[in-house]
Amino acid sequence: MLRKLRAFAAWPMKRKRLYAEAFLSLAWARILKMLPFAKVVPKLGARMLETPYEGIGTADETTIRDVSQAVRTMSRYTWWESMCLVQAIAALKMLERRGVSSTLYLGTGKDSSGHMIAHAWLRSGQIYLTGYEQMQHFTVVALFGNTVQ
């Protein structure tokens, strides 16, 4: 643990801020997940609007990859559940603050015992930030496009 703290202390301040923001965004997203979904939907973007796959610049691509890494890393260090929907909402809000458009996908499928399960993932441009490892096993039932000007 001490070794990890020392490594964190050696990071540049910009990276420390990004990871701290990811931690706080995951906490906020977890709070949103506890609310009725109808209250959360307006915060996710325009329903059934998919943002373009092309048109992101090099700077945006770097931002997207940094946000993805920060959210996915920090989700392992939260003491609350930070699974797919929480990660997708946290990354969506972080991109929104940076003026980067994204699309949040909600899908359903069946597990090995035949029970219905749900999954969420986030895409910006051609880059999938969260939940992409399992997305091919799910059918999209809703998507929310967050277009930022």
pLDDT mean across residues, the chain: 92
CB-neighbour burial class of residue 93 (10 A; exposed 0-12, middle 13-18, buried 19+): buried
Please, what is the Cα angle at 52 between 46 and 57, to 5 degrees?
Answer: 120
Q: How would residue 149 be classed by pLDDT, with cut points 50, 70 and 90?
A: low
pLDDT tens sequence across 95-121: 999 999 999 999 999 998 999 999 999
DSSP annotation of 40 reads H
pLDDT at 97: 95
The Cα 30–Cα 99 span in angstroms is: 22
The residue whose two tokens read 């977890």 is 30
pLDDT tens sequence across 54-107: 877 777 899 999 999 999 999 999 999 999 999 999 999 999 999 999 999 999
The two counts, helices (H) then strands (E), for the chain are: 5, 5
